[in-house]
Amino acid sequence: MDEARTRCGYVGIVGRPNVGKSTLLNRLVGQKIGITADRPQSTRHRLLGIKTIGPDQAVYVDTPGLHRRMRGALNRRLGRAAIATLREVDVVLFVVEALRWTEEDEYVRTLACAGPAPVLLVINKVDRVGDKSALLPYLEARGREAPYRHLIPLSARSGANVDVLERCVAELLPYSVHLFPEDQVTDRSRRFLAAEWIREKLTRRLGAELPYALAVTVEAYKEERALTRIQAVIWVARESQKRIVVGRGGGVLKEIGRQARLDMEREFGTRVFLELWVKVREGWAEDEQALRALGYAEDPPGAGD
């Protein structure tokens, strides 16, 4: 397509933890690429989701949740990645939860509005609001706080009003040739997605017990005609955590593997043979070298896997 007739740009999705950023990304691109779990640190990588509609290509950048007190090496690395995104994108989607506004939201608002890109305030989870009449004063209050280009109430879970968001984004994209083929949905490999979906199941099952102690790497990945073979390692920081992940008689690990395999088979369209091991790497979340080895690099939005 001609650059004069097409639009393309990076769209950063930012917000405090647990406002539904990854659910929104999945809804926008029409399939599961980001992991969703009601725990902080669910998203640990900047993940691209690509949506092409005719002449418009939006490259959405999902980011780790931002919060003011970024303690620990892993948290600081995630925070730097999210903040860097604000300086590198063409449009910012600042996601908040309907009828809620916290100090962390205010912190993200300050960062988002300090950058050069236009900011759209996305009010998510409106489907959970019982009294819809309360939304109008909430929107009015938010609109007085910053020069948002648009304020868009929606539900990422149900898809309500997401089409309005897409139209607003398209109007703000710069004129440019498309950066990706029109049928490409993400820059990440299936190998990367497999590791993330395993970590999603771990986070949902064990997030209350081990909220920051889990990482996953795929050691072997082989695609055959109708079967994908995957060998993955779940990393924990202490031997006691390994026992929690494995569970009595290996029951927890088996169930994690079953749930992750079903996700992979549904999304990859093949049968999946998944083998999981649990290994201990002492203090990995506080070790910069270990973080790099486990794939927590601070890549720019356009970097692939």
Q: What is the mean pLDDT of residues 227-235?
A: 95
> How many domains does the chain divide into?
2
Domain CATH for 105 = 3.40.50.300
Between 305 and 194, the higher pLDDT residue:
194
Q: Are residues 112 and 248 in the same domain?
A: no
Per-residue confidence (pLDDT) for residue 293, from 0 to 100: 65
158 pLDDT above the threshold of 70: yes
Task: Identify the pLDDT of residue 304.
Answer: 40
Label residue 78 by pLDDT band (50, 70, 90).
low
Residues present in the chain in total = 305
Distance CA 248, CA 231 (A): 22
1 is a domain residue: no
For residues 95 and 225, membership in a common domain is answered with: no
Q: What is the pLDDT of residues 268-293, one digit of tens each?
A: 999 999 999 999 988 776 666 666 66
* Same domain? 88 vs 143: yes
Mean pLDDT of 44-52: 82
Q: Is there a contact between 245 and 234 (Cβ–Cβ < 8 Å)?
A: yes
**What radius of gyration, in Å, describes the C-alpha atoms of the chain?**
20
Cβ-contact 11, 89 below 8 angstroms:
yes
Q: Which of 172, 200, 229 is the last residue of a domain?
A: 172
Last residue of a domain, one of 126, 142, 172: 172
Q: How far is residue 65 from each of residues 9, 21, 257, 259, 303, measured CA to CA in Å?
A: 22, 8, 26, 25, 19
Burial bucket for residue 90 (CB in 10 Å: 0-12, 13-18, 19+)? buried
Helix (H, G, I), strand (E, B) or coil at 175: strand
Enclosing domain of residue 120: 7-172
Give yes or no: residues 148 and 16 share one domain.
Answer: yes
User: Same structural domain for residues 123 and 154?
Assistant: yes
**Cα(215)–Cα(198) distance, integer angstroms:** 9
> Above 60 in pLDDT, residue 97?
yes
30 domain residue, yes or no: yes
Residue 61 and residue 42: Cα distance in Å, rounded?
Answer: 15
Whether residue 59 has pLDDT greater than 90: yes
